[in-house]
Amino acid sequence: MAEVINSFNIFIDSQQGLSGKGDDVTVQVGSAGLVLEDGQIFRINVEQFNMYRDFFNIHGNNALFRISSTGASLSDDQRIGELAHQNTKTIGDNVSLFKDALCVTALASAQAVGSTATTCTGTFTPATTVLMDDPGTRQFSITLTFDAAHTFTKFCVQSFVADGDHYLLFGGNKITNSADTTTSSYAVTFPSTTTVLIKGYYTCQRSTDAFVYVRCDLPNNGIETSSFSSATSNFTSQITASDILCRVPIDYEYCYFSTNTGNEFVLNLSNRNINTMRFYLRDSKDRPLGRRSGNTSSDFSGAGTAQNTLGNLNFTMILRIEQVQKYVPKYLNAPLPQKPIPARLEGTPLVTLPAPRPM
């Protein structure tokens, strides 16, 4: 049976003293002498993880939507809208941000397809005071009102998977074909020539991220469904190799995990030695926290552009490293080679002749 023959903790703080960034760090451990003997493996256990929740629930990975419209000019117009990146407390707060972004984007679209409107205002439900556990369907409704005929004959509000998780926030249908200009993620009607009504199909939610995923570059024996890497890879199989070390619940102020059994998140390594370990934080689709894939900026919102290098985006973590004797190696146990017999002594031994009789 496997036996732990050595165990120690590694305390990691990504704030300073490490190569990399606060949410993507490489730990140099070569000087610690992490070397295995025959028949041994390393076992890494996550004991504790902690970081401040220094990112918003409305961010670059769920704020983007698109409008595709046709109007009096009979020409199509496609344009991008985006919610303000900020923290919100209720579903109504989210819908209010959606309404503000729709007013700006819809007015520009109406003018592009032939409308003479100069203003667009909006009303919405549920109210910002409605809480998650209050009675109701948690479905949103936004009415856009123009000061002149909008002339829309087609008005699609689209949430593309490639743009992020906007459809999750507002109970819409995701669109997987990035060339689609005729499908709306939400129900759209025209109550009058100056109004547009947009409704969600399903219940709204306050955020799209329930966990922070800690990934590690060490060879991993874990597996995952391909959806956990859908932002960076296009896997055709349902199950693929995983580099997820652990996932940490997101709370109001902290992202925190502490082990109860010592075995929730375990990584077995067969490497004879460990020189470096890289740890990086991602969301459930392998995207940087608060940033769209491919965006090298470390900005969540506002004027700052260096939150994970000069700012407050960092984490602490405790790992327990165990040196495990998985099996006792068996070596070849053969007798030593014997000294060869001289050739003159080989063959049938001589028979001793009897002594001669006395005369």
pLDDT digits (tens, 9 = 90+) for 3-32: 888 888 999 999 876 777 889 999 888 766
User: Can you give the pLDDT at residue 123?
Assistant: 97
User: Can you give the pLDDT at residue 173?
Assistant: 97
Counting as low any pLDDT under 70, the low residues of the chain are 1, 17, 31-33, 231-237, 293-303, 331, 343-359
Find how far residue 130's CA is from the centre of its chain.
Answer: 30
The answer to whether residues 97 and 58 touch, using CB atoms and an 8 Å cutoff, is yes
Spell out the residues 6+ positions from residue 26 whose beta carbon is closer than 8 angstroms to its own.
18, 19, 20, 276, 277, 278
The answer to whether residues 50 and 14 touch, using CB atoms and an 8 Å cutoff, is no
Burial of 223 (0-12, 13-18, 19+ CB in 10 A): exposed
pLDDT digits (tens, 9 = 90+) for 191-245: 999 999 999 999 999 999 999 999 999 887 788 888 887 766 655 668 888 889 9
pTM for the whole structure: 0.85
Paired with 41 in beta bridges are 324
As a whole number of angstroms, the distance between CA 298 and CA 341 comes to: 79
Instruction: Supply angle C-alpha 86, 92, 94, rounded to 5.
Output: 30
CATH of domain 3-56+209-325: 2.60.120
Nearest to 278 by CA among 230, 318, 245: 245
Q: Tokens at residue 346, please?
A: 């080989």
Q: Tokens at residue 54, please?
A: 């220094």
The answer to whether residues 124 and 142 touch, using CB atoms and an 8 Å cutoff, is yes
User: Can you give the pLDDT at residue 346?
Assistant: 65
- At residue 30, what are phi and psi to the nearest 5 degrees? -60, -35
183 C-beta neighbours (distance < 10 Å), count: 12
What are the residue boundaries of the structural domains of the chain, listed by start? 3-56+209-325, 64-199
